[in-house]
């Protein structure tokens, strides 16, 4: 399975998860500089984004890959042709608020910043929805070491609009407690 991790003005990181003989997940990341890319376009069906590299290699990113919109927002103007500009306009119109990370970054039912799926938090009833958002924020802001302080700002993704009335529903004590029980000393 393909995934996108770090995306910035210099490069994108395309990774792949495979399984070894012990059925353990193996992650392999490849950094691709923007200047190695010669073209970006959607397939005719719009189900995949096709990225062509100078090396003639082609990367196919399915449209349900979280981070795909972020990739398009960071793409240098030289790679945005008229068709892609049109596609981007439609994507921007479709973007919905993500109450987990506070960006207007949900497209195709998933958040392209914090990588949650809409179905993970969506609920008709606000109290129930808040409880789910809270759970997701605990893992979003979790720290990985007892000496690490919580980074409340890392979700402020500059390429996306921020939601004006976004609220962090978790306290520092709750995040630290969650981290202590779930992510500290976790081995990768
Ligand atoms: Zn989000």
Q: Are residues 72 and 107 in the same domain?
A: no
Q: Are residues 132 and 165 in the same domain?
A: yes
88 domain-assigned: no
Q: Are residues 101 and 176 in the same domain?
A: yes
90 domain-assigned: no
Task: State in Å: Cα 20 to ligand 1 middle.
Answer: 31
Q: Are residues 55 and 108 in the same domain?
A: no
Q: Are residues 102 and 64 in the same domain?
A: no
Q: Are residues 112 and 62 in the same domain?
A: no
d(CA 7, CA 32): 10
- pLDDT at residue 1 in the model: 84
Q: Are residues 64 and 112 in the same domain?
A: no
Q: Are residues 45 and 120 in the same domain?
A: no
Task: State in Å: Cα 139 to ligand 1 middle.
Answer: 12
184 domain-assigned: yes
- pLDDT at residue 185 in the model: 75
Task: State in Å: Cα 22 to ligand 1 middle.
Answer: 33
Q: Are residues 53 and 116 in the same domain?
A: no
Task: State in Å: Cα 110 to ligand 1 middle.
Answer: 8
Task: State in Å: Cα 136 to ligand 1 middle.
Answer: 10
Q: Are residues 110 and 187 in the same domain?
A: yes
d(CA 141, CA 172): 9
Q: Are residues 114 and 173 in the same domain?
A: yes
d(CA 123, CA 119): 8
**Residue 5: domain span:** 1-76
- Which of 76, 109, 128 marks a domain boundary? 76
- The whole-number mean pLDDT for each consecutive block of 10 residues of the chain, a chain of 188 residues, reads 91 92 88 97 94 96 93 96 95 97 96 95 96 97 94 94 95 96 78
The pTM score is 0.88
Cα-atom radius of gyration of the chain, to the nearest Å?
18
Q: Are residues 184 and 103 in the same domain?
A: yes
83 domain-assigned: no
Task: State in Å: Cα 47 to ligand 1 middle.
Answer: 22
- Which of 27, 45, 76 marks a domain boundary? 76
Report helix, strand or coil for 43: coil
Strand partners, 119: none
Structural domains in the chain (count): 2
């Amino acid at each position: 399975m393909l995934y996108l991790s770090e995306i910035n003005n210099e490069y994108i990181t395309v990774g792949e998860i495979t399984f070894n003989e012990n059925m353990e997940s193996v992650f392999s990341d490849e950094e691709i500089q923007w200047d190695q890319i010669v073209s970006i376009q959607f397939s005719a069906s719009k189900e995949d984004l096709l990225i062509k590299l100078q090396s003639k290699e082609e990367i196919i990113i399915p449209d349900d890959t979280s981070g795909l919109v972020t990739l398009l927002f960071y793409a240098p103007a030289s790679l945005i042709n008229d068709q892609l500009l049109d596609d981007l306009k439609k994507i921007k119109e479709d973007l919905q608020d993500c109450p987990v990370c506070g960006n207007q970054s949900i497209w195709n039912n998933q958040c392209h910043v914090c990588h949650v799926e809409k179905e993970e938090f969506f609920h008709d009833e606000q109290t129930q929805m808040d409880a789910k958002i809270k759970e997701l924020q605990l893992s979003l802001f979790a720290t990985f070491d007892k000496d690490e302080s919580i980074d409340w700002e890392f979700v402020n993704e500059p390429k996306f609009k921020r939601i004006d009335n976004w609220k962090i529903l978790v306290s520092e004590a709750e995040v630290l407690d969650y981290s202590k029980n779930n992510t500290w000393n976790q081995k990768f």
